[in-house]
């Protein structure tokens, strides 16, 4: 992580799934403070934009030197987080998980000098169409999504293949105890013990949710002929 705020990553890296993966040595995260590579008494990492205008731009030299200081793996990719990048999604997370090393450049201010983009950046990603105050949260989002695809990180308790989005559909509704909560019952099929009926109900609910909330996802989803039959019934009920 190349950043002027390495402290922003520390708490997230100590807790939960990612924290455990780091402790077990399944992922190794190296925080590089760009400011350590800034020259001059003020260690400044930004400057005024040529051509005028509001805001500041990250000056190229400190980022360049920070990147040069990284011990690069043979198969290593430099990723810049920015609203101008291609939108990050689960297929991109799988692609990134195939690299031995990901180097995230986290920008602040109005962005980075264009020559850093041209000279150093292999892939530019956005986490969505909204503006954050810096690339750090975005890098953590991508890092988290990629890390949980690394074998062993989820601890075998559950496979990430069962997740929402791995087949391109939204997840079916989940229930746990108690059987009645605020007057609402758990659907009786889930108590039936009929595993085939439960499987069909869940698949149908996943398709229904996707149809209702994210019909755009259905075009790219991996659907079986059974799914197509369920969809015909669901569309009739709309």
Interacting residues toward ligand 4GX by CB under 6 A: 80-83, 107-108, 111-112, 126-128, 130-132, 134-135, 138
Tokens of 100: 């031995």
d(CA 62, CA 43): 9
Residue whose beta carbon is closest to ligand 4GX: 107
The residue among 92 and 200 lying less far from ligand 4GX, judged by its C-beta, is: 92
d(CA 191, CA 30): 47
Q: How far is the CB of 49 from ligand 4GX (least distance, A)?
A: 12
The residue among 61 and 167 lying less far from ligand 4GX, judged by its C-beta, is: 61
d(CA 17, CA 111): 31
Q: How far is the CB of 126 from ligand 4GX (least distance, A)?
A: 4
CB 187 within 8 A of CB 175: yes
d(CA 226, CA 223): 8
The residue among 132 and 150 lying less far from ligand 4GX, judged by its C-beta, is: 132
Question: What is the distance of C-alpha 120 from the center of its chain?
Answer: 22
Q: How far is the CB of 129 from ligand 4GX (least distance, A)?
A: 7
The residue among 108 and 208 lying less far from ligand 4GX, judged by its C-beta, is: 108
Active-site residue numbers? 83, 110, 148, 163
CB 78 within 8 A of CB 123: yes
Closest CA to 145 of 122, 162, 127, 157: 127
């Amino acid at each position: 992580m190349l950043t002027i705020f390495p402290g922003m990553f520390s708490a997230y890296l100590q807790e939960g799934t990612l924290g455990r993966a780091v402790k077990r040595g399944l992922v190794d995260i190296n925080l590089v403070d760009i400011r350590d590579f800034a020259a001059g008494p003020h260690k400044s990492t930004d400057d005024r934009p040529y051509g005028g205008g509001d805001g500041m731009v990250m000056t190229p030299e400190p980022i360049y030197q920070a990147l040069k200081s990284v011990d690069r793996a043979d198969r290593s990719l430099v990723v810049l987080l920015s609203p101008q990048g291609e939108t990050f999604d689960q297929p991109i997370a799988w692609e990134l998980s195939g690299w031995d090393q990901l180097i995230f450049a986290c920008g602040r201010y109005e962005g980075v000098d264009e020559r850093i983009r041209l000279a150093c950046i292999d892939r530019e990603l956005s986490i969505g169409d909204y503006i954050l105050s810096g690339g750090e949260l975005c890098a953590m989002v991508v890092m988290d999504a990629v890390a949980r695809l690394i074998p062993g990180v989820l601890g075998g308790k559950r496979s990430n293949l069962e997740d929402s989005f791995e087949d391109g559909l939204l997840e079916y509704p989940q229930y746990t105890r108690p059987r009645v909560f605020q007057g609402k019952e758990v659907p009786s099929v889930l108590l039936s013990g009929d595993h085939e009926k439960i499987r069909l109900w869940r698949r149908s609910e996943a398709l229904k949710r996707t149809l209702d909330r994210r019909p755009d996802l259905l075009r790219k989803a991996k659907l079986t002929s059974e799914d197509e039959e369920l969809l015909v019934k669901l569309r009739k009920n709309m």
